[in-house]
A and B are shown apart, each in its own frame.
Chain A
Amino acid sequence: MKRILILLFFLFSLLEVSKAQSGLRNFTGSFENTLLLSAIETVEAQTNIRVFVDPEDIDSLHINGEFDDTPPLEVLRELLKGTSFHVFQNEWGQAVITQGYQVRPYLPDNFFARDGKQEQQLDVATFEIEKQRIEQVADTSLVENKVFEIGVKTGSITPGNATIAGYVRDKKTGEAIIGAVVYTETPTRQGTATNQFGYYSLPLPKGTHTLFIKNIGMKETRRKLIVYGDGILHVEMVEDIIPLKEVIVEAERDANIQGVQMGLERLNIQTLKQMPSALGETDILKTVITLPGVQTVGEAAAGFNVRGGSTDQNLILLNDAPVFNPSHLFGFFSSFNPDVIKGVEFYRGGIPARYGGRISSVFEVKMKDGNKKEFAGNGGIGPFTGRMAFEGPIIKDKASFLLGARSSYSDWLLRRLPNGSFRNSTGNFYDVNARLSYNIDEKNTLSVNGYLSRDNFSLNSDSLYRYQNNNMSVQWNRIFNSRLFATFSAILSNYSFDISSDRNPETAFNLNYNIAFQNLKADFSFTPENFSHKIDFGLSSIRYQLDPGSLQPNMEESNILPKSLARERALEHAIYIDDKYDVNDRLTLYAGLRYSLYTAYGPADVFTYSPGFTRDVLYMQDTVSYKSGAPLATYHGPEYRASIRYLLNNQSSLKLGFNRMRQYIHMITNTAAIAPTDTWKLSDRYIRPQVGDQLSLGYYKNMRYNTIEASAEVYVKRTRDILDYKNGAVLLLNEHIETDVINGLGRAYGMELMLKKLTGKLNGWVSYTYSRSFNQVNGPFPEEQVNNGEFFPTNFDKPHDITMVSNYKFNRRFSLSVNYTYSTGRPVTYPLSRYELNNAGRLYYSDRNQYRVPDYSRLDLALTLEGNHKIKKLAHSSWTFSLFNVLGRNNVYSIYFVSRDNLVKGYKLSIFARPIPTLTYNFRF
């Protein structure tokens, strides 16, 4: 009976369909990569069927098929095979296409039987409809809005329970979450908790559910389910992050512990900018002086002394180009415009093999890249200088420029001073920085840098001094592959000064000095497959051309005799290779070798002196002329670099380093600081290269999650062939300078203790340095001896040095910086007694550097007030008020004695003898 019924139903349905289909023709034709919509139109036209679909859903669907006398519904079914679309034909013969859901056109069998024999089964269609409804309203890219189908999907399901099970894990770590609660709210609250493996198992009535998963410390999550039967559902939970403290990801936070490098300081411009400054402008040189092991002979002195080395032993690089005179206006300002600088790397020990040419330190200043996204500018107005920098894209996201300029208006100020002698003085400078950076493609970047600075000054209308630095460098970075990286650079640097005087026509003159420096180099960085090695290698060639001076009368009345010194020429080549090798987790070795070859070449005339006598004009023997290109002196030698780092634990390490450096260019100076009239001299036949060895040992410890760094370093240095001068030496325009200089031996040792905190409201550092620096000049002849050939303290031997640099941020807008420096006074030579010779008072001086000026002590403070935090405003500005030498202490720069009218008077010279307040306005837009 039942069978007959089913059959009847079946026939009835068929009949209905055929009845409805009457009037529809069959389709014959083929489609090849046809747009479904046009295929539908073709079928409609031929068969007379009406097709309903949302054209937007199928607008990019292409189909294929070949049909011969096929009913239209069959054609559509065939065309939609393999897509997410379904089709059915309704009672009016129309075809309806649905996406993601197959319409059940017929009622279940025995729908009307109502005899209790049919099981109450739920058609899966009900869940599919619910899934569609849920997903149509929500953003299903979120896992919480997706509907998960659990169990095997059969045509229909019987009501009842099914069990779902799975793991609850941490999304980030994959770790099992133990004790997470898994539950549903509807229709009844049913729940369980995960076991020690993070596994749960929960029986639920079949149908739709929302499963909630909760655990302490994790974000609550939920999953929408349609349960057809038993199944698996794994759940991933995300940690509930609570920002308890400021978290800034700093990759190099523990670099001082982990790195093999020692004696390195990296200062970014933010740190530099919050330092108080004497003249209201951020000065990176002055900041470096606050670091342990770095000293200066006094404020407003250009140049600095690193671990007992002289001022010319520092390699000061701006984008790889050496800067021969890093200061403006007697050292009141440094040559680096803070607005265009990214930061500074300062090496005072353990200098890597890629640097060479100076003994004591490397001071590498990097300019920042211009903004590649948008145009921006910044600037500042201080009491003595004004500065401005612009940056912006040339090709968006690819190329940019940066242009910065700074100028003093001290001339304008000087003219407003009441004192007449100042009014006749002049002193001004400007500098310009420019940088173009271009990301050529993923692997190549190019940058071109230019730097230009000019200084002019004349005191009380006396001689006019002018000096200038001109630098240019082109750098090309190339990634050959993921392991080999290279930088190719071409560098030009020029330094020149001239002094002229035309006040008195009889003595009017013009004196010129010039160094030209050209450098080509290639640096490679190679990471072998074995990641425990990192190899750097490269080569460099430098050509020097030095015009040691030419004196010309610059007025017709002038009686000055023209004098010109011969040009010096030299080549310096170097190759280097080094390897950093991580032996194990604790031990890292670094070994490097740099080999440098120096040749001074002609044309040149070299004097020879009688052997067995001191070099003096008196013993001058002969002149040897070298032809153009002929080598007149060659020096070469290896420079060893090595260091070992041993990690004691995660917070502390020990490092031992050794480096040997060779220096072929020397400053001829009779002052302790760098002065514009200092000349540089190349090594030649008589002036041997200086060779310095340094051995250092350091202990580094980080505390409080790497927020506080403590370090202790001890070092010993020995330098051969440093230059010293005979009494009465003539340094300027001396054709035979070798007769006035003597070679000496330098010795320095010291200990540096430092405690540094660079995060938090209060940051800064405190350092104590004990350091000694001695020279010994002990030639075979008495004229070549100083202090009887004993070691004597150098001009910059300041044994005790305490520095504190601190910055307290009251909030993000307002901060206070306080710096304090104490150091032992520098050595001086005093006259011991006065005597008369030929009726003239004379002074009898002590041995060199046997006395000291009073100790140095200075406290500075600076207040910085930033503008409000609004993002949209015309310009972001800040005010900096600084008070230099708050205590007003008369720190002695030098003590000198003048004999006048038969009286010997001693004078103390102080540079900033009273508090100097300045106010600076900075802005950026």
Chain B
Amino acid sequence: MKIESDKIAGSFKLLLLWWICLGPLDATGQQEASAVDFRETVLIHHDKAVYLAGETFRFKVYCLEGPAEGKQRFSRLSTVAYVEIVDQEQNPVVQTIVSLVNGEGYGDFYVPLSINSGNYLLRSYTAWMRNFGPENFLQKEITILNPFMVLPAKLPEAERAAPGGDKKAVSKNQHAEIRYTIERDRYTSREEVNINLAVVKNDGEPSPARLSISVSKVPSFFGIESSGNSFSPKFPTSPPQEIQVLPEVKGRLLKAALNQPAGDGSEGRHLFLAIPGKNPSFFASVANEKGEAFFELDGVHGQREGFLVTQQDVSSEVEIKTGFHPSFAVFPFSHFDIGDQWRDFIQESSRAMQVENAYAGSRRQSQIKASADAVFFYGAPDETYLLDDYVRFPLIEEVLREYVYSVKVRKRRDQYEFRIVDMVNKGIFENPPLMLLDGLPFFDANRIIELDPLKVEKIEVVKRRYFLGRATFEGIVHFRTYNGDMGGVSAGSQYTGLQVQGPQPLKEYRFPSYPDEESRGSRFPDFRNTLYWDPMLPLDGNGEASVNFYTSDNKGKYLVRIAGIGANGSTCAKEFFIWVE
């Protein structure tokens, strides 16, 4: 019963947040936020203790809501997490975004080869967390070594910062514990390793948990305490002062600000954000009185080139916020103390990294999960014309006139116009439809007419009045090219080009396996520094899991790290070593 009321209270809180944040989009945005005390934090488990430039940095993000002790849980608010690597001069060297599903997300990035060895800041946050200031972000020190550049000079003794970071002891709020069994801790090359896991509560009962596991090479002199992994949530201590950043509850929320003097009538103007391509995305919004428009970029993955389009032919300056937080909290970097004892490790890891990169083309350790062709915003069109099914004509005008009966082409003087046949009311709409080319809207049919029909794969027609947000279209006609490159038709000047960064596409991590003699004897080199990584380790009903993977040809000491969130949102982590000899 208690749980029930708790759930209801939580839901109510969320609803309130929604109402405040998203309901009146045209409200000031600076709400009396104290009315809502909703706090979030993120935790990160990454695969290696120390990274080499040229290696892949794999990570898992856990996003929790709180802060009440023992009442934490996976956050139901944010669906996007931001992850950055920042150097000591506060320049981001890597910025990436991952999707959160029920508070969990994962991704990876390539540690750039152009950066110096040193200690870097890994920080992560959600949009909602930005309201609490950067000091409440997840901040963690990461050591990156570039084997191709000599190490930077040591700082003079006086300028060395005091050893800092989050060297906190393991948090007390451990309501769950990870237990593991492993046959042995020494293995040979290309041998199977089996680890059995179980998560139990303090009382020994099996606990539900979400886990991630990494097995990666560490210097031989590493002890457990050197791994530097702290894994406990740190919630903001107070509610936000004001809500400046809206939470991202349905994918990335992009804010476009029309840089125009107030009272210019930009309010109420329809704005469209289009990401043209083979799998296009299209979003509609209406500007508020401040000239701001919001787009929920649901389903947009990776770095995409988009266009902000206004129906009126006004080339207004538009400012787009990236979503990454611009300011930094003071972070006490620890002394970068890498000495000659690291030589073997760096050299071995560097060779391995180089071989892995040289063979990156022929081996796919990870694959982007094949997502089914995303459905475009209007769903299934009423009519689809595959141009290959018909005689090819040299002009789009002819294609439409010849067999796309639901699109009527009109020409007044030299101006073309399209009208759609209304399927519902059996007539022809009075106003032009929404005209899309690979997802990019055009308001001048003459531009579409220019298109070379040989480049068009299909034409989709929606023969109904279509409502998108507050915009109404009298039908939609969508020209889709084979290459998703708009058939060479250029966007035009009233379109503001912008880079839209969505969350990484989800990957499936794959690791080599050597089940038989033949594969063990294979000449294919395998010098992985990370033997295994599973960001979403499934547990069975008994809170148990078994992990198996194979060692590589890369000999040395490996740290196995299992981290996760157990019952009541309590964190749990376990670390131990294995050796490949």
Interface of A with B (CB < 8 Å)? 40, 51-57, 88, 90-92, 94, 96, 98-101, 103-116, 118, 120-123, 125-127, 129-130, 132-133, 135-137, 156, 207-208, 219-220, 240-248, 811-813, 868-872
Chain A residues lying within 8 Å of B452, measured Cβ to Cβ, are 241, 243
Partner of A99, one of B110, B358, B398, B403: B358
B394 with A120: CB separation less than 8 A: no
Partner of B348, one of A40, A91, A136: A91
Interchain nearest-CB distance for A818 vs B (Å)? 21
Interchain nearest-CB distance for B388 vs A (Å)? 7
B549-562 Cβ-contact flags toward A at 8 Å (1 or 0): 00001010000000
Whose C-beta in chain A lies nearest to the C-beta of B454?
Answer: A243
Given contacts A105-B347, A133-B360, contact A54 B524 (CB under 8 A): yes
Q: How far is the CA of A243 from the CA of B392 in the complex (A)?
A: 14
Given contacts A99-B358, A112-B343, A132-B358, contact A872 B389 (CB under 8 A): yes
Q: How far is the CA of A113 from the CA of B117 in the complex (A)?
A: 13
Question: 30 pairs across A/B with beta carbons < 8 Å?
Answer: A53-B524, A56-B362, A91-B347, A92-B555, A96-B351, A101-B357, A103-B358, A106-B347, A107-B343, A111-B343, A112-B338, A113-B150, A114-B154, A116-B153, A118-B150, A125-B148, A129-B357, A130-B113, A132-B358, A132-B361, A133-B357, A137-B361, A207-B114, A243-B451, A247-B394, A811-B402, A812-B402, A868-B403, A869-B402, A869-B403
A101 with B354: CB separation less than 8 A: yes
Interchain nearest-CB distance for B120 vs A (Å)? 17
Interchain nearest-CB distance for A133 vs B (Å)? 6
Whose C-beta in chain B lies nearest to the C-beta of A185?
Answer: B499
B391 with A812: CB separation less than 8 A: yes
Chain B residues 198 to 215 lying within 8 A of chain A, measured CB to CB, are: none
Chain B residues 338 to 386 lying within 8 A of chain A, measured CB to CB, are: 338-340, 342-344, 346-348, 350-351, 354-355, 357-362
Given contacts A52-B523, A126-B54, A811-B401, contact A114 B151 (CB under 8 A): yes
List 7 additional contacts besides A91-B348, A99-B358, A116-B153; criterion CB under 8 Å.
A103-B358, A105-B351, A132-B361, A220-B490, A242-B488, A811-B401, A870-B389
Chain B residues 40 to 80 lying within 8 A of chain A, measured CB to CB, are: 53-54
- Residue B262 at the A interface, CB < 8 A? no
Chain B residues lying within 8 Å of A113, measured Cβ to Cβ, are 150-151
Q: How far is the CA of A891 from the CA of B346 in the complex (A)?
A: 105
6 nearest A-B pairs in the assembled complex, by CB-CB distance: A116-B153, A136-B361, A123-B148, A52-B525, A126-B113, A98-B358
Whose C-beta in chain A lies nearest to the C-beta of B116?
Answer: A120
Chain A residues lying within 8 Å of B23, measured Cβ to Cβ, are none
Chain B residues 122 to 170 lying within 8 A of chain A, measured CB to CB, are: 146-154
Chain B residues lying within 8 Å of A103, measured Cβ to Cβ, are 351, 354-355, 358
Chain A residues lying within 8 Å of B154, measured Cβ to Cβ, are 114-116
A112 with B389: CB separation less than 8 A: no
Partner of B350, one of A92, A104, A245: A104
Chain A residues lying within 8 Å of B450, measured Cβ to Cβ, are 242-244
A108 with B360: CB separation less than 8 A: no
B151 with A871: CB separation less than 8 A: no
Interchain nearest-CB distance for B331 vs A (Å)? 22
B114 with A122: CB separation less than 8 A: yes
Q: How far is the CA of A92 from the CA of B53 in the complex (A)?
A: 23
Partner of B351, one of A90, A100, A241, A242: A90
Given contacts A126-B114, A129-B113, contact A101 B358 (CB under 8 A): yes
Chain B residues 467 to 492 lying within 8 A of chain A, measured CB to CB, are: 488-490
- Residue B390 at the A interface, CB < 8 A? yes
Given contacts A120-B149, A132-B361, contact A811 B398 (CB under 8 A): yes
Chain A residues lying within 8 Å of B342, measured Cβ to Cβ, are 112
Q: How far is the CA of A129 from the CA of B357 in the complex (A)?
A: 7
Query: Interface majority SS on B: helix, strand, loop or mixed?
Result: loop
Interchain nearest-CB distance for A54 vs B (Å)? 5
Chain B residues lying within 8 Å of A136, measured Cβ to Cβ, are 360-361
Whose C-beta in chain B lies nearest to the C-beta of A217?
Answer: B490
Whose C-beta in chain A lies nearest to the C-beta of B391?
Answer: A869
Given contacts A51-B523, A129-B357, A811-B401, contact A121 B149 (CB under 8 A): yes
A870 with B390: CB separation less than 8 A: yes
- Number of B interface residues in the complex (CB < 8 A): 57
Q: How far is the CA of A47 from the CA of B72 in the complex (A)?
A: 61
B395 with A54: CB separation less than 8 A: no
Interchain nearest-CB distance for B386 vs A (Å)? 10
Given contacts A96-B355, A126-B148, contact A114 B153 (CB under 8 A): yes
Whose C-beta in chain A lies nearest to the C-beta of B354?
Answer: A103
B152 with A114: CB separation less than 8 A: yes
Whose C-beta in chain B lies nearest to the C-beta of A137?
Answer: B361
A241 with B488: CB separation less than 8 A: yes
Given contacts A130-B113, A243-B394, contact A88 B351 (CB under 8 A): yes
- Residue B222 at the A interface, CB < 8 A? no
B153 with A115: CB separation less than 8 A: yes
Q: How far is the CA of A135 from the CA of B555 in the complex (A)?
A: 30
A871 with B389: CB separation less than 8 A: yes
B151 with A112: CB separation less than 8 A: yes
Interchain nearest-CB distance for B573 vs A (Å)? 32
Q: How far is the CA of A99 from the CA of B113 in the complex (A)?
A: 20
Whose C-beta in chain A lies nearest to the C-beta of B453?
Answer: A243
Chain B residues 306 to 352 lying within 8 A of chain A, measured CB to CB, are: 338-340, 342-344, 346-348, 350-351
Interchain nearest-CB distance for A341 vs B (Å)? 22
Q: How far is the CA of A112 from the CA of B360 in the complex (A)?
A: 29
A111 with B391: CB separation less than 8 A: no
Interchain nearest-CB distance for B497 vs A (Å)? 11
- Residue B12 at the A interface, CB < 8 A? no
Whose C-beta in chain B lies nearest to the C-beta of A40?
Answer: B523
A54 with B343: CB separation less than 8 A: no
Interchain nearest-CB distance for A180 vs B (Å)? 15
Chain A residues lying within 8 Å of B395, measured Cβ to Cβ, are 243, 245-246
Chain B residues lying within 8 Å of A110, measured Cβ to Cβ, are 150
Among B113, B360, B389, max chain A CB count under 10 A is at B113
B394 with A246: CB separation less than 8 A: yes
- Residue B576 at the A interface, CB < 8 A? no
Whose C-beta in chain B lies nearest to the C-beta of A115?
Answer: B153
Chain A residues lying within 8 Å of B360, measured Cβ to Cβ, are 132-133, 136
B354 with A104: CB separation less than 8 A: yes
- Residue B393 at the A interface, CB < 8 A? yes
Chain A residues lying within 8 Å of B488, measured Cβ to Cβ, are 219, 240-242
Chain A residues lying within 8 Å of B355, measured Cβ to Cβ, are 52, 96, 98, 103
Partner of B553, one of A52, A121, A132, A811: A52
Interchain nearest-CB distance for B59 vs A (Å)? 20
Interchain nearest-CB distance for B453 vs A (Å)? 8
Q: How far is the CA of A53 from the CA of B358 in the complex (A)?
A: 11
Chain B residues lying within 8 Å of A100, measured Cβ to Cβ, are 358
B149 with A54: CB separation less than 8 A: no
B523 with A54: CB separation less than 8 A: yes
Interchain nearest-CB distance for B247 vs A (Å)? 30
Chain B residues lying within 8 Å of A116, measured Cβ to Cβ, are 153-154
Given contacts A52-B523, A57-B362, A91-B347, contact A240 B490 (CB under 8 A): yes
Chain B residues lying within 8 Å of A135, measured Cβ to Cβ, are 361
Q: How far is the CA of A724 from the CA of B343 in the complex (A)?
A: 117
Chain A residues lying within 8 Å of B151, measured Cβ to Cβ, are 111-114
B351 with A53: CB separation less than 8 A: no
Chain A residues lying within 8 Å of B110, measured Cβ to Cβ, are 133
A108 with B354: CB separation less than 8 A: no
Interchain nearest-CB distance for A705 vs B (Å)? 16
A104 with B388: CB separation less than 8 A: no
Interchain nearest-CB distance for B290 vs A (Å)? 28
Q: How far is the CA of A53 from the CA of B525 in the complex (A)?
A: 6
B553 with A94: CB separation less than 8 A: yes
Q: How far is the CA of A238 from the CA of B110 in the complex (A)?
A: 34
B487-516 Cβ-contact flags toward A at 8 Å (1 or 0): 011100000000000000000000000000
Chain B residues lying within 8 Å of A51, measured Cβ to Cβ, are 523
Q: How far is the CA of A248 from the CA of B524 in the complex (A)?
A: 55
Chain B residues lying within 8 Å of A870, measured Cβ to Cβ, are 389-390, 403
Q: How far is the CA of A248 from the CA of B404 in the complex (A)?
A: 23
